[in-house]
Copies of this chain bind each other. A is one copy, B any other.
Amino acid sequence: MNLGRPREFDIDRTLESATRQFWAVGYEATSLQDLLRVMRLSKSSLYQTFGNKQQLFIQCLDHYRKSMVVQLEEKLAANNSAKGFLREFLEDIVAEAQQKTGRKGCLLVNTANELSQRIPEVQLAVAEGAGAVLKVFHRAMELAVEQGDIASSACLESLVNFYFSGASGLRTMVKAGVDKRELEPVVALIMDSIK
């Protein structure tokens, strides 16, 4: 026994590998064998560090949420126009429609639709994820008001939810196989309504 020995693997990287696996094929379709393979862990290390499959999945959802929020905040900070940032996020979703196969979408959207209603802990993690992402979009809209691109009288709460439902809907349409050319005018219509 060597309890003082540091773990021989990087928890964040291992979590990232598991997250990518769940993201690519979904929660149910991911087997313990898949997880051991991509995480390069023994069964006992996996259980000791992350718990069972469901507990690991919750940690992956948290990991995904944090990465996503960091990425969004960086993009928002790098963009001169907050409304431009919001438009680009939708354009990136639609760009995935060009891929013939393997459109992964968003892990949070996938999970909301796959199983959030069956497992309360998962529903909580999805709701927390949605809340964190909504917050970034809300901040972007406040900035857009300051920049004169949204009327100061607009109800930002409703606009944010409207934008978010449009973004989630685009995700679903991309996964359902709708063509990029058909989705581009939808981005324009969503953005036109945010004023």
Which residues does A use to contact B, with CB under 8 Å?
A: 25-29, 101-105, 108-110, 112-118, 123, 126-127, 130, 155, 157-159, 161-162, 164-173, 175-178, 182-183, 185-186, 188-190, 192-193
Asked if A113 contacts B117 (CB within 8 A), the reply is no
Pick the contact of A162 from B26, B27, B168, B186 — CB < 8 Å?
B186
Most buried by B among A102, A110, A176: A176
B contact residues around A108 at 8 Å (CB): 176
How far is B151's CA from A159's CA once the two chains are assembled, in angstroms? 24
How far is B189's CA from A27's CA once the two chains are assembled, in angstroms? 34
Cβ of A103 to closest chain B Cβ, rounded Å: 5
Pick the contact of A102 from B117, B173, B189 — CB < 8 Å?
B117
Cβ of A46 to closest chain B Cβ, rounded Å: 21
Given contacts A159-B189, A183-B161, contact A175 B116 (CB under 8 A): yes
B contact residues around A115 at 8 Å (CB): 25-26, 29
